[in-house]
Every structure is written in structure tokens, then in C-alpha cells.
Amino acid sequence: MTALHTAARDWQLTHGSLIKICIWDDEDNIRARPIGTSIFPTLFSKARFEEALQLQKDYNKLYAAVSEDDTWLAEILRDLLISDPFAKALWSVHLKAKEAGYIQPLSLGIFRSDYMLHQPSTSMASGLRLKQVEFNTMSCAGGTHANIVNMMHHHLATTGLYTTPPSPPNPIHRSALPTTCTVSNIISALATAHAAYGPPRNALATATAILMPVQPFNINICDERPLEYGLWALSPAVPCYRVNYPAIFLKRTTRAETGELLFYPPNSTEPVEVSVAYMRAGYEAAEHGDEGIAARIMIETSRAIKCPSVLGQLAGFKKVQQALAVPGVLERFMSDSHTDGGGMLERIRGTFAPMFPLDETEAGLWAREEAMKVETAGRYVLKPSLEGGGHNVYRGDIPEFLERTPEAEWRNWVLMEMIEPPKLQNVLLTIHGVHEGDVISELGVFGTCMWRKGEGGKAEMVENDQAGWSFKTKADHVDEMSVIKGYGCFDTPCLVEDLP
Ligand code: ADP
Ligand code: MG
């Protein structure tokens, strides 16, 4: 190990840049491993970085508007609502809540918009474009890890340990490294929503609290726990409870007839009234058995502010991303305003990479041909509407995958052109060992917002902020990026005018 490796590992260990190992039978010890991290910051275009940050408030507005438009969502998700069990389960929850009548007009969004730089050919460095990989509306993770690794790179840059940058020379100095405060921004958004909920209404409860449903056997506590700790540390404290979802949630939570969601904290016989249900679970299809659906109905029909609502979650489906890219669709949700100098629709549209349905429309039939042919499939990635990494089918694997998938299910997938980012160099400390060489990066911009369902059922923004960023880098031969699943590494962009 070099001095840099040791310094990075020690920083990670002392700051909780870790993945917990849950299945471990020695009660006197705790096991964890460092999360993937880059040794050096990776070069990134300063102009495109700033563009991504600037776009976030408009993206927040767009997805708030989509989240309130169940007519449009029903139309866009029509095929999935017939044949995709996950979409069906979520939609059934929405229908139940709609039938009962939504009683909480406020919604909280903690979003993350992911981008890569697109370089159509190696000779076009000046033509780098910002292209959106996906927009996340549910359980957006990585904020804390991003902060810690960002601080680590600042520290390493300050101590002068970067004497041997990767080639080509990487001009690492602190002024080129942006800073992110994602953790405090998310905490502040949660606290604002908590305050907006107001005092408890139910006679059984004397206090309100944020509830954070989490997955059991949670390996990502280092990303989630600091949000909870930060809420308790505010003055006055904002109580925040984690609860394993859905089993323990169902044991400890009830919904009063008047709609309040009441949670019994451990060791307490008195419930707290849930102000905000901050979902860090419920994003996977497998979590939606009978218990998962029962738990989600309880949340969705309650007075708690949802982060996100079921419709907000569905708005993050890849199928929605593809539908928004169809010419004329953005106009349903937003119009250019004079205050921003106009052109906002074009700026958003400019970040869309070509995406196609795989259904029986004209565009879908064309895309099916592209996907089936070995000669053309290499330009694409095939995506289901699932989250968390590991579900996509890449390039040459697409034709064979489609051959063994029943044709009736093809329409649940979308075909997306591969974004071709410039290859840069770095040293990555991954769970599979050290990677030294070509790498690809992805910028995730966090956005927090709160909106009210207003006139005509439309979203009226109450709060709207850009909330920091995460930056991830992977070896260039790796398709996926999930750091938790061991593909990518947290990183910091080193902002430059021009990439080499
Ligand atoms: P998930 O919801 O599983 O995170 P993503 O759409 O983010 O799905 O895809 C996972 C990863 O695959 C991304 O983080 C990115 O590294 C890569 N990827 C996805 N779409 C593209 C694309 N169009 N071009 C290049 N890489 C992509
Ligand atoms: Mg992703």
C-alpha cells in the first residue's frame, strides 16, 4: 500500500465511509468494509458541472408536476400496469389512497438527477454534452458517502500527498475541487417538511416525528444514519426513527381512523404522530408482497407527508423518463418563463439521451429492430423500470436477452442510447482490488423540494432547492455504477475548463 492508499483507508475508517457486514456471528465485534473510493479526484468539465447544478430546480418542478398527474402516468404506464407486477402493486396502492381521498396536500421530494458527459467522438472535446442517465425520485442514496469522500479528497489535496497524479497530469488543487453539503441539505429539507406538518392532531400522541422505513439487514447504515443523527441534533431536536420495513413497521405502526400515522418507538407505550414518511425502503419489487403492500397502503392513506408518494415513486420509472423525451410532452408540465430568460424547456430537453419504447408503436417497432440486430444493439442499453442497480442489459447482450424473454414483456423495457463519456485516468480502491487506468464518471445532482397539491390538482412549489451532488467513478469496462453493489466508487470532480 502506498501512503495515499493508507491515508484514504484511514480517512474512511475514521469517518464512517463504510459498508456494514450484517451477517456476522461475533457479538463483540463489528464488521465493515470501506466503500469504493477513488484515490484522486477525476477531471470533469467545469461548465457542464455548473449547468447540471443550475438545471436542478427546474427538474424538481418537472418531477413534482409529473408526480401529481395520475391521468398522464396511467396512460404512460398503461402496459406496465397490465404486465409488470411491481408497477401494478404500486398502482393498486395509489388507487386505494385515491378512493379513500388523499388527506395530505404536501409532498416532499428528495431527488437525484444523474448525468454523464457525452463525447460523440474523441476529436470533439469541446463538444462535450451533459446527458441524463436517469432521474431518481425514491430512496436517493449516496449523499452522505459523497460528502465524506469529498472531504477526504480536500484533505488529501491539502496535505500535499498528491505528488504523483495519474497521467495525463491531473491539476489537483483545492480550488478546483467543489464542496458539497448534501447531508445538511437533506436534513434541512426533512426538518422543513416536519415543521410544515404542524403539531400532532391525534389525542394519543403528544409529539410528531419523522419515520424512516429502512430495509432489514441494512448494509448502508453509514449513508442513512447521519441523516437521523443530524435531525436529532437540531435545536429543537427533530425526532427521527428508523424502522425495518415492512415487518416491524406493521407491528409498530397504526393508522388512526382520522388518518394520522402513529408509530410506537422502541421502549415506548405512547405513540408519536408521523410527520414525514421518508422512504429508504420499498424501492424493490421483492418488497411488495402482501405485507409490503399493506404497509404502503397504511402510509399512503395517512396524513403523513410522503417522501415520496407512490405516484412520486412511479414518476421515477424509466418508462416515464422515456415518455418525457417524446417531442411535445415536456410542454404538458412546464412552460418557459420570462424570469429565467426563457429556454428552460430546451435546456432540460438538451440533457435527454435518445430513448425509445419497446412496444408496438411505430417508434417501438423500430427500436425492437435496433435492439435485435447484433450490428446495432451495441449502441444501446435496455432498461426495466427498476431501481438499485443490476437490472439493465447492455449492448451485445441485448439480442440474446430479448430472444429468451416473452415478447409480451418487451414493452416493459425501454431502449436507451449509450452515453459515451470521455475516458480519463484514476486509481480506484474497489472491493475487487485496485483499478488503475481508464475510468468513467457520473455526476448526481441532489434536489430537495416541497409542493402542495393546489388548484386543479397541480403541484404548487413551496420549497425548491438544489441540494448538492454525488460523484461516482468506475473502471471503463464496467457497465453498472452502484457503489453499494461494488461496481463504482465515490469520487470528487476536479473541475477544469477543458478535458485532455
Ligand atoms: P439503476 O436504476 O439501476 O441505477 P441506471 O439507469 O442508473 O439504473 O443504470 C445503471 C448504470 O448503468 C448507470 O449508473 C450508468 O453507469 C450505466 N448506464 C445507464 N444508462 C446508460 C447510458 N445510456 N449510457 C451509458 N451508461 C449508462
Ligand atoms: Mg442509477
The whole-angstrom distance between residue 383's C-alpha and the CA centroid of its chain comes to: 16
Beta strands at 18-20 and 433-453: parallel, antiparallel or unpaired: unpaired
Looking from the CA of residue 383, the nearest atom of ligand 1 is 6
The alpha carbon of 460 and the centre of ligand 1 are apart by a number of angstroms equal to 31
Ligand nearest to the CA of 133: 1
Q: Which residues of 270-286 are buried (b: 16+ CB within 10 A; e: fewer)?
A: ebbbbbbbbbbbbbebe
Give the pLDDT of residue 26.
81
- Between CA 324 and CA 288 the distance in angstroms is 27
The alpha carbon of 415 and the centre of ligand 1 are apart by a number of angstroms equal to 12
Give the pLDDT of residue 339.
60
- Between CA 228 and CA 457 the distance in angstroms is 32
Q: Concatenated DSSP letters for 163-218?
A: SSPPSSP----GGGS----HHHHHHHHHHHHHHHH-S--STT-S-EEEEEEE-SS-
* Three-class DSSP category at 248: helix
The alpha carbon of 99 and the centre of ligand 2 are apart by a number of angstroms equal to 33
**Protein residue closest via CA to atom 14 of ligand 1:** 481
Looking from the CA of residue 417, the nearest atom of ligand 1 is 23
Sign (positive or negative) of CA dihedral 325, 326, 328, 334:
negative
Give the pLDDT of residue 125.
47
Ligand nearest to the CA of 414: 1
The alpha carbon of 218 and the centre of ligand 2 are apart by a number of angstroms equal to 19
Looking from the CA of residue 136, the nearest atom of ligand 1 is 2
The cell 430546480 sits on which residue?
57
- Between CA 147 and CA 157 the distance in angstroms is 15
**Protein residue closest via CA to atom 10 of ligand 1:** 480
Give the pLDDT of residue 424.
93
Looking from the CA of residue 418, the nearest atom of ligand 1 is 24
Give the pLDDT of residue 165.
61
Give the pLDDT of residue 341.
67
Residues of the chain with pLDDT under 70: 1, 121-126, 164-171, 338-341
Angle at 300 between CA 111 and CA 268, to 5 degrees: 100
Q: Which residues of 382-407 are buried (b: 16+ CB within 10 A; e: fewer)?
A: bbbbbbebebbbbeeebbeebeeeee
- In the chain, the amino acid numbered 283 is Y
The alpha carbon of 261 and the centre of ligand 2 are apart by a number of angstroms equal to 31
Residues near ligand 1 (Cβ within 6 A)? 114, 133-134, 353, 381, 383, 387-389, 391-392, 416, 418-419, 442, 479-481
Mutate which of 115, 321, 481, 484 for ligand 1 pocket (most atoms within 8 A of beta carbon): 481
The alpha carbon of 316 and the centre of ligand 2 are apart by a number of angstroms equal to 11
Cell of 30: 463489528
Mutate which of 392, 423, 473 for ligand 1 pocket (most atoms within 8 A of beta carbon): 392
**Protein residue closest via CA to atom 3 of ligand 1:** 389
User: Under 8 Å CB-to-CB from 268, ≥6 apart: which residues?
Assistant: none
Give the pLDDT of residue 23.
78
